[in-house]
């Protein structure tokens, strides 16, 4: 089975772009779609919560696998929307070396904040 046959989802990749509000001069952030209908494979890894003394720590293990794009995907700069849910890229991994395949570790985000 080839890697391409496992790409059974599609996603949209957005980039955070900083701008300036012309009316009041405040800095603004916009999401600009840089790639749409990208073939990918989404893996819902769930998450877990652990208690370390008085501190509660949680993490998310959702991932998306895809082929390299014509641009560099950067953590905390790019946003991925897959299956109607929006995620921030928290890590980018080169699988197989020489940028054959990418694995993006994801953190769910709410863009309405």
Domains of the chain, residue spans: 4-108
Which of 50-54, 83-87, 97-101, 109-113 has the highest mean predicted lDDT (pLDDT)?
83-87
- What is the tens place of the pLDDT at every residue in 57-67? 556 689 999 99
Range 52-74 average pLDDT: 80
Which residues, other chains included, contact 3 with Cβ-Cβ below 8 Å and sequence gap of 6+? 65, 100, 101
- What is the tens place of the pLDDT at every residue in 30-51? 899 999 999 999 998 766 666 6
Measured between alpha carbons, how far is 21 from 26 in angstroms, rounded to an integer? 5
CATH of range 4-108; options 2.40.160, 1.10.260, 1.20.1050, 2.40.10: 2.40.10
Looking at the whole model, is its pTM more than 0.85?
A: no
- What is the tens place of the pLDDT at every residue in 2-20? 778 889 999 999 999 988 8
Q: Does position 97 have pLDDT exceeding 60, yes or no?
A: yes
Most distant pair of Cα atoms in the chain: their distance? 55
């Amino acid at each position: 089975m080839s890697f391409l046959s496992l790409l059974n989802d599609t996603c949209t990749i957005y980039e955070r772009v900083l701008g300036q509000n012309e009316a009041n001069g405040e800095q603004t952030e916009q999401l600009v779609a840089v790639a749409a209908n990208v073939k990918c494979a989404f893996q819902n890894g769930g998450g877990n919560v652990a208690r370390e003394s008085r501190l509660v720590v949680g993490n998310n293990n959702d991932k998306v696998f895809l082929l390299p794009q014509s641009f560099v995907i950067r953590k905390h700069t790019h946003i991925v929307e897959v299956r109607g849910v929006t995620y921030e890229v928290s890590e980018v991994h080169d699988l197989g070396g020489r940028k054959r395949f990418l694995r993006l570790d994801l953190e769910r985000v709410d863009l309405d904040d």
